[in-house]
Amino acid sequence: MSAQGLNVIDHTVQLTHEWINELTDRLDWTHQRDALRLMRVTLHQIRDHLSSDESAQFSAQLPLLIRGMYFEGWVPKRTPIKERRATDFFTTIEGQLGDIAEYRGHEDIQTMFKLLNARISRGEIEDIRAVLPADIRGHWPEP
């Protein structure tokens, strides 16, 4: 039994910390808070490019707390978004991360994609990549 008596909560907190720690290490960044911002913003951009069904399937493989962040602010009737160019995808992310001193642009977004490749099933990553426009998919390494 966990110290709090709620194993599901303790477990998702642990998993969320593992994801954030892994991303921080992969990025070689100093602050976990910044890595969490990158994770949240990138997940929102991915989410907004997916149908509701595909988004639900993808989110089922996220830790519970990260899944909550994923759906934060989501308006299903506005997705998938109409503008689907890679330039817009990356500009939107960069617009929300521009004040992070360690942020390196596309390189760091690709690092987030690599984390997803490592943490989400290969089949689901392939499904997600397949529904993204080719110019966005080209920036996401194959699993």
Query: pLDDT tens for residues 129-138?
Result: 999 999 999 9
Across the chain, mean pLDDT equals: 93
Q: What mean pLDDT do residues 62-87 have?
A: 92
Q: What mean pLDDT do residues 24-34 have?
A: 98
For residue 44 the two structure tokens come to 């929102």
Is the link from the previous residue into 143 a cis peptide, with omega within 30 of 0? no
List Cα–Cα distances, 98 to 9, 92, 103, in angstroms.
Answer: 33, 10, 7
pLDDT at 113: 98
Question: What is the pTM (predicted TM-score) of this model?
Answer: 0.93
Name the CATH architecture for the domain at 7-137: Orthogonal Bundle (1.10)
pLDDT > 90: percent of the chain: 87
Residue 100: band (very low, low, confident or very high) from pLDDT cuts 50, 70, 90: very high
